[in-house]
Amino acid sequence: MKQFVVSAVLLAAFQSAGAAVTPAVVHRVTMNVVNAPLAPDGFTRNTRVPPILVNKGDSLVVTVNNRLTDPTMRRSTSLDLDGLFSTTPELFQEGSPFVTQCPIAPGASYTYTNGPIQQAGNFWYHSQLSVQYIDGFRGPLIVYDPEDPQAHLYDVDDINTIIQLGDWWHNTTLSPTMLPQYEATGIIPVSDSSTVNGVGRYNGGPAVPWAVITVVKGKRYRFRLINESARNIVTVNFEGHSMTVIEADGEALTPHTTNAIDMLAGQRYSVVVTANQPVSNYWINAPFVGGNPANNLNQNATLSRAILRYAGAPAVDPTGPMEITPFPNSLVEGDLRPLVAQAAPPADVNMTLDLEVVAGKAIWNVNNVSYVAPKTPTLVKVLNGASTEADFNVTENTFIFPPNKTIQFTFPPNDDDDAHPLHMHGQNFWLIKPNSTDVVNTVNPIKRDIAAAGANGIQLRFRTDKPGPFFFHCHIFWHYQAGLATVLLNDPAGTRAQVHPNAEWESLCPAYNALPAELQ
């Protein structure tokens, strides 16, 4: 019953938000990926992996040492710094297997470089290979802004205010067993439990102590919420407290007060919560949906929670009800506005993307094409001269765009049960029509990198100012593995002019391709 454990050594001092501005530093992280038994919900498998904490303006250098040896699990790996954008010259280190690189073979190492980082907010890291990150290779990546224009809204913002939300599975051979079962039946696996900061419970399981976050009455806390699940939509609510949303997916927002937030897989939010209630214990509720619970009798959405404990309160569970009811004043994504308004530029290219599933099968299509990862990564092909759609297999579903244009994607309403969290690598997009509203807003829409395509349809726009191939896929990784993905290739000639990989990158594909299938 082994799970991936990621041990990370950060070789740079961390500068917290609100402190005096200091010169940028280079953070060097050594990340050892190994197998070890863990048990977040009492069933031995998982862990809460270490966070990576850096400042805006810093550089991040991460060396991944692949030490995976368990033959029942996927042994090659990769690293995606999710939501953190590589510059085009660094694109070969972006971390998308078969798009920008080949996976890292067992026993090998690879170093990813990013920076100076120009973003700030909540991000996370995980394996991008297959559904491997469900096996434990995932953790928070926070970029603090020492000059945060919203720092006056909160008093505390540190490692203790990061809230990781994840799904947990008891199957001990998740990647090599459950994925083929899904592909054969079309029935997506249902998680046994959900975790809050690495802790959860399930029906009939042990009463594992809840994760506890301690607050001091009167102080304002910036909680950084990250949904690291591979499928589940999690609703976050602080019992007896409202939340003021100030950031989504690394983009600052005009403060917006709400009582609950539905978070899709991969999404991140920053919320300010004021400890203004009587000294006591309160639930941090995180109920979830993710498939039919009848397919896994261990699942109980009401057991996804943690405790908000005021300093001075007894170390006991809250007395509030365990039942979950619809929360009033839940967040409507279409009501959010950016802190600094920016109009979405007019579209130069309009495309409609239809998402369809083949009934009874694990096959998802985007415009009637089910994505299949090629053996030769997209970037390798581009560097070798590929420039037109004819240079790629149809199943690579590669859309080629000219430079310096605005592209509009329209996703029509679909009647599928899932709201697909569509995730764009490399840049954010303007969400001009969210799934939550029929209003098209091109004047001051929010920007983010994950949005739901569902029953009401969505529209988004993005620029092709940045050359390179960028993965665009559903962050329900079961769907992505079943073909719900595309590659957006901006300016192939510009990509060749700016991307010049190093020898370490050049060695990845020969090493991976030489592996027997069981080691890939």
302: tokens are 């009401």
pLDDT in tens, 405-414: 999 999 999 8
User: Residue 101: which of 133, 127, 140, 132 has the closest Cα?
Assistant: 127
Looking at residues 306-328, what average pLDDT do you find? 91
Higher-pLDDT residue of 407, 14: 407
What does the H/E/C string look like for 357-425? ECCCCCCEEECCECCCCCCCCHHHHHHCCCCCHHHCCHHHCEEEECCCCEEEEEECCCCCCCCEEEEEC
Classify 519 as helix, strand or coil.
helix
Instruction: Quote the CA–CA distance of 197 and 211 in Å, as a whole number.
Output: 6
Report the 10 Å Cβ neighbour count for 9: 11
Q: What is the pLDDT of residue 21?
A: 42
Report the 10 Å Cβ neighbour count for 352: 12
User: Residue 123: which of 93, 79, 155 has the closest Cα?
Assistant: 79
pLDDT in tens, 494-516: 999 999 999 999 999 999 999 99
Quick one: what percent of the chain has pLDDT higher than 90?
73
Q: What is the pLDDT of residue 174?
A: 57
CB 492 within 8 A of CB 436: no
Q: Provide CATH code, domain 162-335.
A: 2.60.40.420
Domain range 3-148, its CATH number among 3.40.50.300, 2.60.40.420, 1.10.150.130, 3.30.70.20: 2.60.40.420
Is the per-residue pLDDT at 3 higher than 80?
A: no
**Degrees (nearest 5) of the Cα angle 12, 16, 22?**
65
Distances (CA, A) of 97 to 29, 104, 328: 21, 9, 42
Instruction: Quote the CA–CA distance of 265 and 290 in Å, as a whole number.
Output: 10
Instruction: Quote the CA–CA distance of 220 and 333 in Å, as a whole number.
Output: 23
Local confidence band at 47 (pLDDT 50, 70, 90 cut-offs): very low
Q: What is the pLDDT of residue 30?
A: 92
What kind of architecture, by CATH, is found in domain 349-513?
A: Sandwich (2.60)
Is the per-residue pLDDT at 22 higher than 90?
A: no
Instruction: Quote the CA–CA distance of 301 and 288 in Å, as a whole number.
Output: 5
Q: What is the pLDDT of residue 417?
A: 59
Strand partners, 55: 144
CB 83 within 8 A of CB 493: no
CB within 8 Å of 479: residues ≥ 6 apart? 188, 364, 418, 420
Higher-pLDDT residue of 35, 284: 284
Distances (CA, A) of 493 to 402, 425, 486: 10, 20, 20
pLDDT in tens, 121-150: 999 999 999 888 888 889 999 999 999 999
Local confidence band at 10 (pLDDT 50, 70, 90 cut-offs): very low
Q: What is the pLDDT of residue 43?
A: 46
Classify 461 as helix, strand or coil.
strand
CB within 8 Å of 83: residues ≥ 6 apart? 119, 121, 122, 123, 124, 249, 250, 268, 449
Is the per-residue pLDDT at 46 higher than 50?
A: no
Q: What is the pLDDT of residue 159?
A: 95
pLDDT in tens, 61-97: 999 999 998 887 789 999 999 999 999 999 999 999 9
Highest mean pLDDT of the ranges 263-272, 298-307, 361-370: 263-272
CB 155 within 8 A of CB 91: no
Is the per-residue pLDDT at 19 higher than 80?
A: no
Question: Reading across the β-sheet that carries 109-114, which strands appear in turn?
Answer: 3-10, 26-36, 59-66, 109-114
- 329 sits in the region (left: phi over 0; alpha: psi -120 to 50; else beta) called left
Peptide bond into 116 cis (omega under 30): yes
272: tokens are 């300010």
Range list for CATH 2.60.40.420 in the chain: 3-148, 162-335, 349-513
